[in-house]
Amino acid sequence: MFTTGSKLFIGASVIALATAIIHGTTQDNSTVGIIGLVSATLALVFLAGINLWVRDSNVAADDAAVAATAAASTATPPGSMWPLIAGLGAALLPVGLVVGRVITWMSIIVLIVATVEWMVQSWSERASGDAAYNTMVRRRIMHPLELPVLGAIGLGIIIFSFSRIMLYLPAVAGAIAFSAVSSIVLLFGALFAAKRNVGRSLVATVCAIGAVGIIGAGVTSAIAGSREIVKHEVPSFEENTCGIETDGESDDHASRAVAAKSNLAATIVLSGGKLHAEVIGVIGAQDTVTLARSKYSYIRFENLDAEPRRLVADFGTETVDVNGTAVEESFTTCTQAVGQGGAQFLVVRPVLPSNASETPFTLNVPGVEGGVVTVIVP
C-alpha cells in the first residue's frame, strides 16, 4: 500500500509533528518554533501524498520500452563520499555544542554542503539512462556554485598562509619576501603566457607546488608565532594643567599616523628648553604662528627634551552670560604628555581673533620657561 518514497515522508511528517508538540508544550515563547515545525509537517505530508499519488513514479514492470531506457534500469552508480562527509558533519555537531561555537558552525556548514551535494548527485545519477549526460547535468548545475566557492576558499587559505609568513618574518625580510614571491609569480605567469603549448598538467603541477609551499610555510610560521611588533607607549602626564587626563584626549599614536605628519598648520618642537614652530612654506624656525579663525588647524607637537611635556593651546577667554551670570569661558586645549622623541597631535579651532584678547594667544609648554610660541588669529 505504502510506497518506499512515501514511507520516508510519512515518517518525517510524524517526527516533525511530534517535535512540534514537544516544543510547544515544553518551551515558552515558542510561537515561531511551532509555526516552523507545523509548516514542515504540512509540507512533508504534502510530499508524502504526492508520492503516494504517483506511486514513487515507478514504471510498470511490464512496460518493456521504459524499463530498458529508465535510469533505474541502468547499472548501479558508483559509491559517493558525501554520506561519509555528512556523517562527519553530524558527528561534529554535538562535539561543537560542547567544545565551542567554531566547531558547531563548521559542522553545520559541512552538513549543509554534504547534504546539498549528496542530493544533487543522487538526483543527477537518476536523471537519465545516459551516464555521460547525467554527469554533464550535474556539472552544469553545481559548477557555477562550486568553482567560485572553492576558488575563494583556496585563495583565502593561500592569503592567510602568506599573511602568517609576513607576520613571522622581520619587517625588512617581509618586504624582500613579498617582492620575491610576487616576482616569481610574475615570472611563471610570463613564461606560461609566452609558451602557449605548455601542458596543462605542468601548469597545474607548478601552481600546486607553489600553493603547497606557501601553505606549508604559512603553517610553520603560524606555529612559530608573530615577530615582536613595537608599540608606541605614551607616558601619563603628572602635571595636570589642562583638565583631567583621559586616554581619549588626543591621538596617542600621532607619531605613526601619516595624516599627522603632512601638510599641517604647524609643527611645534620643544628642544633644549626652547619652543619653536615649523610652518609649511615658511623657511626657518618661527616664534609666531598665524592660524585662520574658525578653521580646524592641525598641529603636531614634538618633544625632543628628556622630561615628558605637553603642549597647551591657550586662545584667550570670553565672558558669557549663563542665566544672567557673567561667566568667563576659557578657550584652552592641550595634548597628552609626550616622552622624549615622542609626538602628539592637536586640533585647534580658535573662534576669536587674537585682538579680542588682552593677553596674547599662545602655544606653550607648562614648566618650560622658553616654551611659548605666539599665535596670531587675524
**Sites of contact with other proteins (CB under 8 A):** 262-265, 280-283, 288, 290, 292-298, 347, 349, 351-353, 355-356, 376, 378
363 close to 275: Cβ distance less than 8 angstroms: yes
We find the least distance from the C-beta atom of residue 361 to other proteins, in angstroms, to be: 12
We find the least distance from the C-beta atom of residue 253 to other proteins, in angstroms, to be: 17
Q: Which is nearer to other proteins, 233 or 358 (CB)?
A: 358
Q: Residue 326 contacts by C-beta under 8 Å, 6 or more apart in sequence?
A: 319, 320
Q: Which is nearer to other proteins, 220 or 294 (CB)?
A: 294
| CB neighbour class for 173 (10 Å; exposed up to 12, middle 13-18, buried from 19) | middle
* Secondary structure letter of residue 289 according to DSSP: E
We find the least distance from the C-beta atom of residue 99 to other proteins, in angstroms, to be: 50
We find the least distance from the C-beta atom of residue 360 to other proteins, in angstroms, to be: 13
CA distance to 98, 241, 297, 298, per residue, from 311 (Å): 55, 10, 15, 13
Q: Which is nearer to other proteins, 199 or 378 (CB)?
A: 378
Q: Which is nearer to other proteins, 138 or 349 (CB)?
A: 349
Nearest one of 296, 292, 297 to 353, comparing CA atoms? 292
310 close to 344: Cβ distance less than 8 angstroms: yes
We find the least distance from the C-beta atom of residue 354 to other proteins, in angstroms, to be: 9
Q: Which is nearer to other proteins, 119 or 282 (CB)?
A: 282
Q: Which is nearer to other proteins, 1 or 194 (CB)?
A: 194
We find the least distance from the C-beta atom of residue 364 to other proteins, in angstroms, to be: 20
C-alpha 250/C-alpha 335 separation (Å) is: 6
- The three state secondary structure string of 154-216 is HHHHHHHHHHHHHHHCCHHHHHHHHHHHHHHHHHHHHHHHHCCCCCHHHHHHHHHHHHHHHHH
255 close to 342: Cβ distance less than 8 angstroms: yes
The letter for the amino acid at 64 is A
We find the least distance from the C-beta atom of residue 322 to other proteins, in angstroms, to be: 15
Q: Which is nearer to other proteins, 143 or 293 (CB)?
A: 293
